[in-house]
Structure 1
Amino acid sequence: MKKSLMPLASLAALMAAQPVAVIGSVRADAGGGDVAQLMKDVKAQLDRVTGETNKTAENALKEAQKAGALTAETKTSVDQLLNQQGVLQTAFDKLEKHIEGMDANHLELEQRLGGKRGDGGDLRQTLGMAIAQHDGVKGFTKGSLTFTVSNAITTGSASAGALKVPQRETEIVGLPRRQFFVRDLLSRNTTDTDLIQYARLKTRDLKAAPVEETTIKPMSNLEYEEADAKVVTLAHWIPVSRQAMDDIPQLQGEIDNELVYGLDLTEENQILSGDGEGQNLPGLITNATAYSAAYEPEGSTRIDRLRFAMLEASLAGYPADGMVLNEIEWALIETTKDNEGRYIFANPLGLAGPVLWSRPIVATPQIAQGDFLTGAFRVAATIYDRMDTEIAISSEDRDNFVKNMLTVRAEKRLALAIKRRAALVHGSFAVA
């Protein structure tokens, strides 16, 4: 078996690289001195020895391949290099742990000194510490002491003020809204067209009478006329940016509610006071019969006048089923008292809805103060809903697309047919 010897010059050089001085420095200087520089030196020695070890290992591998085994000298050299490498690695690990410990101590010191003022004042203290260490307390015997804590944590901007987080309510506080009930007094139906036609009795001449046998019976006359009610559209819209709609979750619901409220407000006004011209509905008041006061005695009150208005509707063949009053007028009626200060009919503790003469009252500011409307509402008029309230959002409106804007539109379609004008009586309290 042939053996190949490792060059003696290389072995001598490796032996000379033994880092005895460096290892000694680790033991002597780990507690002080320039630890970072020492760690760099050990790292450099470790890298050099590791390189030489790798090179020697390669040569030993080649020697073993050629000769079939390593010489004793080569094996000893490799063992020494591996031993030196292990010692250096251990020294490096110790230095690394030492530096980590120094960093931890440094961090703790910084935290402890975090409350130290820039002018070199004392560390931040608790109130108890400040009192216990105060010179006045140490020499205190009797009387009173006043302490000023100059470094207390407060809600000021220079202390803990930035930590305060206000509570944010998502509810949007809106403006007041009115209630709508006039529609509820009327008959309601639906339609799938834009025009409602119906026949209305124009003339009624009834001649019924007792007759003798074989005589000609009297002839009555009924005359009808054609009437119609057109469907009108109530609508409005509002612009809003795409970003606002996306970033404010409750905004869309708030806009929808406001737009719907606007439609209902306009509908109420149209149902009561529309003149029927153009795209206006024919209003109840516009088509009502004027109150004549033919049966009202002198000195009557508001309550009396409403009762006699109901009488006129009943005499016309349409017993009243409700009343519409201004809210102020209704409040005046409810608070009417007798000569002894007792409420005439109202009960402040009553839970029943607004009722007068056993008829429901709709109090609304949509009718002028001082006016009233009574009659048989269900037979007097019918609402035909063509389209319920619809909310539509679109970016295809003028230059919305390039501006990243949205148009939110609300609309509804309906018709109002006034079928029996005599069933409605409209008047005023001015002379009551």
Structure 2
Amino acid sequence: MINPPVSRRQLANGITVLTIANPSADIVSGRFFLPAGSRWEPIDRAGLAQLLTSLLTKGTTHLSALEIADRIESVGAGLGAETTTDYLKLSLKTVKSDLVDIFKLAGEILRTPSFPPDQIELERKLILQAIRSQTEQPFNNAYRQLRTALYGEHPYSRSSLGNATTMGQITRQDLVDYHQAHIRPDRLIISLAGRITPDEAIALVTQVFGDWEIPTVEPPTLSPTHVTTQPQYQIEHQATQQAIVMLGYLAPAIHDPDCIALKLIDSYLSNGMSSRLFVELREKRGLAYDVSAFYPTRLDTSHFAVYMGTNPSNTAIAVSGLRAEVDRLCMEPLSAAELQTAKDKLLGQYALGKQTNGQLAQTYGWYELLGLSVDFDLEFNSAIQKLTATQLQSAANKYLCDPYISIVSPENKAAASKMAAPIS
């Protein structure tokens, strides 16, 4: 699929409208992005954005939760909301003939949620169940432990679900205040992809949101939170059948030039069954049930992590194995074949991520929220193709030398004592 051109326009009230015209199917997908995710919450109200998002479809000033669900299901459409670290998002999918009605419903949900008390308590209970479920999963516990070590008081250290204490403290007034502060037209990005022209998109957005006035108060701003590197070793014991070993490194945000090099390193280490970590640590050495790496895109300082699920008796070997593979990147450059394979995999993965209207709406809306141009795809492709093995080695030496180590495993005092050596 060749990506269609992207139109970018802005309404007088500040709403940014992206249109990706793709008439190949009678479907329109939309994404409504707002910088209002867990990154923006007060620390004593962690989980506030998650609770608010879960309540958007549970009642407006004119519609009950049941009426909203009936309107969506009666036409076979999709409409839902979610929260991530950096943003809050409303998503829709519908056939073109029902677009106006579903889009109006999305506008009502976004602008006038009612936060019914009974629904607040129901959603709170569901989130508390999800929090408890997270604590039962070794990977989530290792990742939580790693984020805490990496970020300290920075909001990126926290789960978007919050915790049991903060979730219990959130009031209806907190939800109302957060909505008033963050859900506003001059922060809204609407991305529409499918059988719709830019002029049709602007007319529709104007019809539903054109009368939405910018609040007189200034939009919320983020106070910079400095994150410093202080590598730590941490182990948590849990009744589990496998050990999770995770090494983490602070890494650049999306606008840092080194971000592209680390994206390529991530692809080299983790992309598929022919990736370096899979081949060396699972296929050749049989150490891993699961092994991979990840480098999430973030507005602020991100992190690069490698991890392995392994037999608890192999914990120490797993740590040394993961460190050896990352250290190799610092000590010797990739071969020409390794470099080209990593580039092909990464660019192929990005292309596959823009096959459907929903993926197109998601991708370009996310780019806009990150402050990237609509031409970022072309820029990214060009930047990847120009990267050299020397540049990757330089980036590895800059960011991937001193890891934070997070381990979750069954209690084993002998193994723990072996592992508790200082980090060199």
Superposed pair shares fold, TM > 0.5:
no
Greater RCO between the two (CA within 8 Å, min separation 6)? 2
Which structure has the greater CA radius of gyration?
Answer: 1
Specify which structure has the higher proportion of helix.
Answer: 2
- When normalised by structure 1's length, the TM-score is 0.15
